[in-house]
Structure 1
Amino acid sequence: MKIVIVGAGKVGELLCRDLSLEGNDIILIEQDAKILEKILANNDIMGFVGSGVSYDAQMEAEVPKADVFIAVTEKDEINIIASVIAKKLGAKYTIARVRSTDYSSQLNFMTESLGIDLVINPELEAAKDIKQNIDFPEALNVENFLDGRLKLVEFHIDKDSILDNVSLFDFKQKFFPNLLVCIIKRGDEVIIPSGNSVIKGDDRIYITGSNSEIIKFQDALGKDRRKIKSAFIIGAGIISHYLAEELLKDKIAVKIVEMNPKKANKFSEYLPNATIINADGSNEEILREENFQNYDSCISITGIDEVNMFISIYAKKIGIKKIITKLNKLSFVDILGENSFQSIITPKKIIADKIVRVVRSIANKKKNLIESFYRLENNTVEAIEILVNSDSKINNIPLKDLKIKKNLIIAYIVRNNVAIFPKGTDVINEGDRVIIITKESFFDDINNIVAE
């Protein structure tokens, strides 16, 4: 497909890489010639220097022929106007990144009246992810399927756990019949398990199931699932605004520390029920004065990765229960994720995954619609929810008669809103939602579960 991207910031650069690797023809519009040159040197794409709101720039980039137009500059207004122009010129599908809280109540207007097909707010999506992680205090990572009714949740298995040296057959037969282990991470190895696979202490495992079943899992492991009642947030950015609003709705006590006095004052006006402190949140003395150690959760979401890492490491040292860290550099995600059991949020990756899902669905509109899509473990695993259409070649064939690919699990077949753990005698029908976990990259069609 032909895709035009406007803006070569963090999100734009990641999209250029990911969407070009998916086999799309990418054209990038960027005002800064040096930034454009750098990205062109590192990716197999084309690019033009210019403004996304320029008619001439859009014509030069062949926007009228674009299957997808994506505006992800740092300025919301440019993204909105650029997308409106692109739609008028003939781009088939337009996506605009809109971050400001000023526009959060106007997203439906933008899609319905301005003709923008999809408006994405990365900060709002990041806040939702953080809130979801707070709802599962012992989880390292939480993803949604079936509109949130099913979860894919990552846990660390302690060395003295009841699950140490338990096979997945026994896991299901003796312990948790309504849960499925989809991924095992052991050191540097990522495993899509079979029934003979064995869980070992110090593994990180991903399980899928309903909220109630996952809570039972935490209980059985002796995990402390007491609800988070207080949140200490460092950094008063847009994510903090959205997050604090949601936490306060749940009666969670919120304290936000922000170094910039103007930001701190604005937050005091926006969030009268939160405690706002104008101070350096990376200063240990300040943290002690603000009783940091007494909070249930630490959410470090400043604009500087190194500061967020330092605060999170300190929070772990003093024993804070739930630690959530925002990181932008993917290399830092690997470093921190392997050395501390905490939740890591990367806003640009959240948005990239959502846009990749949309692009795959558009590319395969005659095949099957991708409802949910997540890339896990440094993009080595994909978790996908696919809506099956009438043309699927595997429809109405018992799974035992299909040669299912290795390193692939059919986690659920969802039919009439009922989630089924599939057995060999089960079949996939038109209208089913199928949840698949696979190590195959660029998975976009239910027919691809079958080995050639």
Structure 2
Amino acid sequence: MKIHFTCQWKGGAYVSGGGAAVYIVIVGAGEVGSNIAESLAKSHEVAVVDIDPDRVEALMYEADVLGVEGDGAELDTLSEAGIEKADVLIASTDDDETNIVTCGTAITAADPFTISRVKSAKFLRTWEKSGAAFGVDHMVATNLLTAENIARVIGLPGSRDVETFVDGQVQMGEFEVRESSPIADQTVAEADRYESLTFAAVLRGDEVIIPRGETVIREGDDIIVIGSCESVRLFASEITPESKTTQNVVIVGGSDVGYHTARLLQDRGIKPRLIEQDHDRARELAEDLQGTTVLESDATDSEFLEREHVSDADAVVATLDSDEKNLLVTLLAKRLGAERTVAVVNSGEYVDLFEAVGVDVAVNPRETTAEEITRFTREYDATKVAIIESDRAEVLEIEIAADSVLAGRPIQESVQELPTGVVIGAISRDGELVIPRGDTVIEPGDHVVVFVDADCLEAVNDKL
């Protein structure tokens, strides 16, 4: 699974609107910076800066970008990258302080919109309290965002990906169809028995299928559904009948991600258990997390896991700093009988491997951070955007203007002017949820949640 993150803004993203290309300088050509560059270079002019010449050369070869070797925190290097004409600067190295200094340096020479990636939430808290502190216009805290997504997925049984829209009124969920699922081998018409739920897409291998009534749902498919929170939760409980409400959660690793995950679960009324081997860190966590039971032990010890009845856990989350240990812990937990396992995977190339050997959900912080920043620099005039499976599709929340192709017309008529890769998932009107049907008339001011195949995003944005 390629979990996504969302950001919210009004009136378009923080680049020039109307689909016009802008100039973007990215500092850091690692996994995060490379993913951002490859995505944005499709429609914008991009320059990438890194101290590693091999990384720069590789990215210049793989994507149509200007490559500059050097320290992005230095003004001369930024000038060589064209900072004076830049609309956006993205600081995405693996060092928090370097990213913040880079943004501060950039605004001494020009006036780009600055985005800084940081791992630690302490910088985010300072930035939030003081406006545009450090010369940063938007800050992305990787560890906190990762924890937020883990908590969201844990909260919906059987889900691989979850996001909410329209102030929590509408939910999108992604679910894998397993052999035991009651909808396996059913048509969409047979499976569609939920009043306020839309089957938005079927992901089958590399194919994105827009479902029709006669579309057969197969084992191994990933299903994207959009609807009311109640209907999505009901769908989740029926598609994975073996899953139950998640209350018994074990978090392995008192890392920053583990700490934030526990804190967020506490806020949702769940009392997790957190296992941390280091004595001082365990004591610190116990003092800070009053609603969490902190256990000081080595979670790779199978006998300890058995004594702590990990077999009864609804979910085991591995947030250690080692990918190898996270894999070991989740596989041990699965063998002992834990219902679901979630592992943080810092190396992007290991994500598919983790899920192939039995981990239910693998979360790569670098990839999700790249998706968050990429989404924030897109020009779509959307209130909220979610990226599905590494840019294979997007789910947009759009406030309908009077000149939209959807405004004042029945859906069955207006969609004739849209590409086939578009599904109207939900409509919110004056705070009330409207179920989209062929004869439903969408009105200006409505908030519409739309699934869009990546291949037709530009065409759809022009019309919506």
User: Scaled by the length of structure 2, what TM-score is found?
Assistant: 0.84
Contact 2:255 2:320 (8 Å CA) reproduced: yes
Q: 1:434 aligns with which of 427, 448, 451?
A: 448
- C-alpha separation between the residues in 1 aligned to 2:269 and 2:417? 51
> Matches of 2:393 and 2:356 in 1, distance apart?
17
Aligned equivalent of 1:156, options 159, 176, 187 = 176
The 5-angstrom pairing of residues 330-369 of structure 1 reads 330-337=348-355, 340=358, 342-361=360-379, 368-369=381-382
Match of 2:34 in 1: 13
Q: Does 1:101 align with 2:114?
A: no
Partner of 1:326: 344
- Residue 72 of structure 1 deviates from its aligned partner by 1.8
Is the Cα contact below 8 Å between 1:374 and 1:383 reproduced in 2?
yes
TM superposition shift of 1:341 = 6.9
Q: 1:374 Cα shift?
A: 1.3
* Alpha carbons of structure 1 residues 359 and 302: separation in structure 2 relative to 1, 3 Å: same
Deviation of 1:243 (Å) = 1.1
Superposition RMSD in Å: 3.0
**Residue 374, structure 1, aligned to residue 392, structure 2:** no
- C-alpha distance in 2 between matches for 1:12 and 1:160: 40
Cα 1:270/1:222, change in 2 over 3 Å: closer
Distance apart, 1:202 and its partner CA: 4.9
**Secondary structure in 2 aligned to 1:182?**
strand
Is the 1:140–1:154 contact (alpha carbons within 8 Å) kept by the matching residues of 2?
yes
Q: Which segment is superposed worse, 87-96 or 35-44?
A: 35-44
Identity %: 26
Match of 2:65 in 1: 45
Letter in 2 for 1:307: K
SS of 2:234's equivalent?
A: helix
The equivalences for 1:28-427 within 5 A come to 28-112=48-132, 116-159=136-179, 161-172=181-192, 175-186=193-204, 189-220=207-238, 223=241, 226-259=244-277, 263-264=281-282, 266-271=284-289, 274-337=292-355, 340=358, 342-361=360-379, 368-369=381-382, 371-376=384-389, 378-392=390-404, 395-401=407-413, 402-427=416-441
Q: Which moved more, 1:217-226 or 1:140-149?
A: 217-226
Contact 1:87–1:116 (Cα < 8 Å) also in 2: no
* Pair 227,85 (structure 1): closer, same or farther in 2 beyond 3 Å: same
What is the CA distance between 1:19 and its match in structure 2? 1.8
Q: Measured at CA, do residues 280 and 220 of structure 1 come closer, stay the same or move farther in structure 2, by a change above 3 Å?
A: closer
Q: Secondary structure at the match of 1:310?
A: helix
> Quick one: structure 1 residues 127 and 23, their matched pair in 2 at CA, closer, same or farther if it must change by over 3 Å?
same
Q: Which protein, 1 or 2, shows the higher relative CO under an 8 Å CA cutoff with sep ≥ 6?
A: 2
Q: CA deviation at 1:439?
A: 2.5
Structure-1 separation of matches of 2:146 and 2:275: 19
Quick one: which amino acid aligns to residue 436 of structure 1? V
TM-aligned CA deviation for residue 102 of structure 1: 2.3
Shift of 1:12: 1.7
- Mark the runs of 5 or more structure 1 residues left unpaired by the alignment: none
The residue that corresponds to 1:2 in the other structure is: 23
**Alpha-carbon separation, structure 2, partners of 1:188 and 1:34:** 30
Task: State how far apart, in whole Å, the 2-side matches of 1:135 and 1:323 are.
Answer: 13
CA–CA distance in 1 between the matches of 2:229 and 2:51? 46
Measured in 2, the distance between the counterparts of 1:315 and 1:58 equals 48
CA offsets per residue over residues 253-274 of structure 1, 9 Å max, x none?
3333345556445434544654
Task: Please say if residues 121 and 141 of structure 2, whose CA atoms lie closer than 8 Å, have aligned partners that are also in contact.
Answer: no
> Which structure 2 residue ranges, 5 or more long, are not aligned?
1-21
Residues 277 and 312 (structure 1), Cα distance of their counterparts in 2 relative to 1, 3 Å cut = same
Contact 1:369 1:388 in 2 (8 A): no
The alignment partner of 2:39 has SS state of helix
Distance in structure 2 (CA, Å) of the matches to 1:249 and 1:444? 39
Q: How much has 1:4 moved relative to structure 2?
A: 0.7
Whether the 8 Å CA contact 1:384–1:436 is kept in 2: the answer is yes
Question: How big is the shift at 1:393?
Answer: 5.0
Deviations 1:15-61 (A, max 9, x none): 122222x3222212223344434444433322223333322222222
Contact 1:353 1:375 in 2 (8 A): no
TM-score by structure 1 length? 0.86
Q: Shift of the alpha carbon at 1:242?
A: 1.1
Against the structure 1 CA distance between its residues 136 and 28, is the aligned structure 2 distance closer, same or farther, given a 3 Å change threshold? same
Q: Return the offset for 1:188.
A: 5.8
Contact preservation (8 Å) 1:183, 1:206 = yes
Deviation of residue 448 (structure 1)? Answer: 5.1
> Deviation at 1:276?
4.0
Higher mean C-alpha deviation, range 134-143 or range 255-264: 255-264
| CA 1:147–1:81: 2 relative to 1, 3 Å | farther
Aligned residues: 441
CA contact (8 A) 1:152 1:208 kept: yes
Alignment check: 8 A CA contact 2:387 2:395 kept = yes
Change (3 A) 1:324 1:143: same
